[in-house]
Amino acid sequence: MTSDKVQTNAEEPAPERSMKRRGMFAAAWAVVAAAVLRKTTEPVEAIAGTGPDGNFVIGSNDTSNTTNYASLRTQLVTGLNFSGNVLLDVNASPFQSSGTVNTIGVQGRSRGTAAGVVGISGFQNPAGFPANQNAGVYGLSSLFNTHGVTGHHINNGVAVLGQSDLGGIGVEGLIPSTNSFSASTAVYGVNSSTYAGTSPGGGGFGVYGISAKGHGLVGAVGTAGAAAVVGAVNGVANSYAGAFYGPVLVFGNFTVMGGAKSAAVPHPDGTHRRLYCVESPESWFEDFGTGQLECGRAEIAIDPDFAALVDLADYRVFLTEEDTHQHLIVTGRTSSGFAVEADLEMAALKGKRETDLNGAFSWRIVARRKDIKGERLETVPVPPEPVLPTLPDNAV
C-alpha cells in the first residue's frame, strides 16, 4: 500500500506557484474592493494592471453624489505588495452644480500620532525622467483659481497645501542628521512661469511667506559662519541679491564686503544720484554746531543726548571762522562742554582789543562710540560663497 507524498512549495511547478500567488493577490484585492463597495452606493471599478503602465486603479465615475466621493476618499488601502502603482481616481466634474470644488484625489487621516499620508521614494531619478518621478509626494493642480465663487479661498488651485490647527507647522521640510550629502535643501521652491510682468521680478515668487501677526519669513542657523538668509543673483546681470521695500532693522554688526555704503538721493532732474558714506578706521560719532564770540570768548555746551552715547574722556573739536580771522583756539575742554577763545597775542599784534574780538564760527566735535569698542582697522574674515542648489533645466 502506497501513500501520496505531500508536495512542498519548493517542489511545486512554476505554473502552480504563479497561480497561487495570483489567487492570494485576488483575494486581497477582493477584500479592498468589498470594503469600498460597502461604503459607496455606486459600483466601484477595480482594474488590475490593464493600462499600459500596469497601474492598479480604484475609480469612480459618479459625478452626482458627493457623499460617495467622501466615502471613497477615506478608504485606506494597505497590505498590498506589488510592483505597480495604486491610484485612487475620483473622476468628478471640477465644479458641482453648487459651484464648489469637491475633487480631492487622496485624503489621509490619522487619529493618533502617526502620519496621515507618507510618501517615500527609494530610487534615484533615471536620466530623461521628469523631476517629479522620484518625489515621495507629488502634488499637481491644473485648475485656475476662480475668485468670487462661494467657498473659494486663496488656496484654491495649489498643488500642495499644509495646514496646522493646533499651533504646529503647516509645511515642514526636514533633512535628517543621517544625511551626509552636500548642499541638501529642506524646502525648495522653483517658479518657472514664462509671465514676465510689467517690471523686473513681476513673474511671481519662488518662495513667498506672509504672517497675519508674526514674521513673514524667518531663517536661523546652527553653525558658526553660516548665514540665516542667503540671496544670490546666479550670475544674472543688473539684478539684486536682496530688495527691501520699507524700513529695515539690523540687530548686530552691519558689514559690506567688497562694496560701498551709499544713498541714492532724488535729484531735481528726476534721476537718483549716489552719495557715498564717509568711512573711518574707528567707530566715531560726531556732532556740529555754531557759536558767537563775545569779547574774544564763547562757551559751547555739548548736547546731553549726544554725550550719553560717546566717550568724552577724549574727543576732538574742529573750528572754522566765518566772519573774521581771529585765530581761534579750544580751551577748558570738559565732558559737558568746551570754550573757544581768540588768540589775544595775535590780536594785539594787529592792534585789536578784546572788545573788538567778536564774530561767528562753526564747530565740529568727534568722539568714540561708547557702547561698543571698534577696533582700529580690524581684520575681517571673508566667508566663502554658499553652494547654491542646482536649478532645473526649465527654471530659467
* Global pTM value: 0.61
Torsion of CA 27, 29, 35, 36, to 10 degrees: -150
Per-residue confidence (pLDDT) for residue 159, from 0 to 100: 76
Which of 60-64, 365-369, 384-388 shows the lowest per-residue confidence on average (mean pLDDT)?
Answer: 60-64
Residues 180-212 have pLDDT tens digits of: 887 788 888 888 888 888 887 888 888 899 999
Range from 127-136, 238-247, 329-338 that averages highest in pLDDT = 329-338
The one-letter amino acid code at 231 reads G
| pLDDT band at 152; cut points 50, 70, 90 | very low
Q: Which fold has domain 284-369?
A: YacF-like (2.60.440)
User: CA of 130: how far to CAs of 120, 124, 138, 139, 373, in Å?
Assistant: 17, 12, 12, 14, 56
Stretch 354-376: mean pLDDT = 90
Beta bridge partners of 319: 363
Per-residue confidence (pLDDT) for residue 48, from 0 to 100: 44
Per-residue confidence (pLDDT) for residue 202, from 0 to 100: 81
Stretch 362-374: mean pLDDT = 94
Per-residue confidence (pLDDT) for residue 136, from 0 to 100: 74
Question: Cell 491644473 appears where?
Answer: 142
Assess contact for 87 and 55: CB atoms under 8 A: yes
Assess whether pLDDT exceeds 90 at residue 327.
no
Please state, in angstroms and rounded to a whole number, the distance separating the CA atoms of residues 36 and 39: 5
Assess whether pLDDT exceeds 60 at residue 257.
yes
Question: Cell 549716489 appears where?
Answer: 274
337 versus 380: the higher-pLDDT residue is 337
Per-residue confidence (pLDDT) for residue 95, from 0 to 100: 40
Nearest CA-CA partner of 256 in 386, 376, 382: 382
Q: Is 258 exposed, middle or buried (0-12, 13-18, 19+ CB in 10 A)?
A: exposed
| pLDDT band at 58; cut points 50, 70, 90 | low
Residues 85-118 have pLDDT tens digits of: 455 554 444 444 444 445 566 667 666 677 777 7
The one-letter amino acid code at 148 reads G
| pLDDT band at 371; cut points 50, 70, 90 | very high
Per-residue confidence (pLDDT) for residue 49, from 0 to 100: 46
Which of 164-178, 228-242, 322-336 shows the lowest per-residue confidence on average (mean pLDDT)?
Answer: 164-178
Assess contact for 143 and 95: CB atoms under 8 A: no
Per-residue confidence (pLDDT) for residue 174, from 0 to 100: 87
